[in-house]
Amino acid sequence: MKKILLAAALLVLCAVPLRAADDLSIKVFQLKYRRVEEAALLIRPLVSDAASVTLTQRLNAMTVTDREERLKKIAKVLADFDVPPRGFTFAVKLVRARADVPAGSMGQEIGGLGTKLKSLFQFNDYALIDSTVLRGVEGRRVECRLGDGYALSFSIGPAAAGDDLLLSPFTLSRVRVADQMGRVTLTPLYRAAMPITLNQTLVVGASRDEQSKSALILIVLAQELPRAEAEKGASGSKTVEKRP
């Protein structure tokens, strides 16, 4: 009698893992816009202890083995995550400010920003060097040349759904010809991680020191592109140039 009970107990113990294995399902997720490595980190808190995740980087896909209810949650999270990157425009004005000249009239190119510049900086005259409109996509780098031998570059950090972006490193450089072959060197004048909010004007001043008689001022307005235009991926294109 004891032998029969022992055999029954062993049968029950062996049946438990078999049933758990039967509850698992397999689903392949192939991402179109985002990297599968980033997606794997995103779903890590969602998988159960019994799950397995296999990445196929060549196809930008992952195979997930888990319970059906977990797979449904993972599918929803990945659907929200795997969307086209956001695109933005950056309206940029480069202004030269001087304190060693008589007060001048604000150029029309600066527009209503003249009053704001006077409230932020102690200079007498402001003259527009160049203006441009750039396009960029999150995760990519934007570069352009500005008038009078300057260059601007920055990378757009990954953007969430909000209005805040991080441009890093946001660099304004002086362009100089290095040799007779026409090769150039870039000397950074201003370099920083620059937080920016969509639809709000950012004003950045760069000078040698607080007592300097002149400075360069960058005025930047970032706005989001419609999704269809962002997918075209026109990054760093200079669309407007205007000089006094």
Each residue of 139-187: pLDDT tens digit?
899 999 999 899 999 999 987 778 999 999 999 999 988 777 778 899 9
Taking the C-alpha atoms of residue 180 and residue 183, their distance in angstroms, rounded to an integer, is 8
Choice between 117 and 218, residue whose per-residue pLDDT is larger:
218
**Which residues lie below 8 Å from residue 143, measured CB to CB, with a gap of 6+?**
151, 152, 153, 236
Q: How many CB atoms lie within 10 A of CB 55?
A: 14
Choice between 211 and 29, residue whose per-residue pLDDT is larger:
29
Mean pLDDT along residues 219-228: 88
Please tell me the predicted confidence (pLDDT) of residue 174: 92
What separation in angstroms does the CA of 17 have from each of 8, 13, 24, 46, 177?
16, 8, 11, 21, 72
| C-beta of residue 92 within 8 angstroms of C-beta of residue 204 | no
> pTM for this structure?
0.68
The two tokens of residue 98 are 């001087």
Taking the C-alpha atoms of residue 161 and residue 227, their distance in angstroms, rounded to an integer, is 13
The two tokens of residue 75 are 């599918």
Domains of the chain: 2-81 (3.30.1370.120), 87-230 (no CATH)
Q: Does pLDDT of 15 surpass 60?
A: no
What separation in angstroms does the CA of 113 have from each of 88, 94, 128, 181, 241?
22, 12, 11, 41, 18
Instruction: Provide the residue count of the chain.
Output: 244
Please tell me the predicted confidence (pLDDT) of residue 14: 38
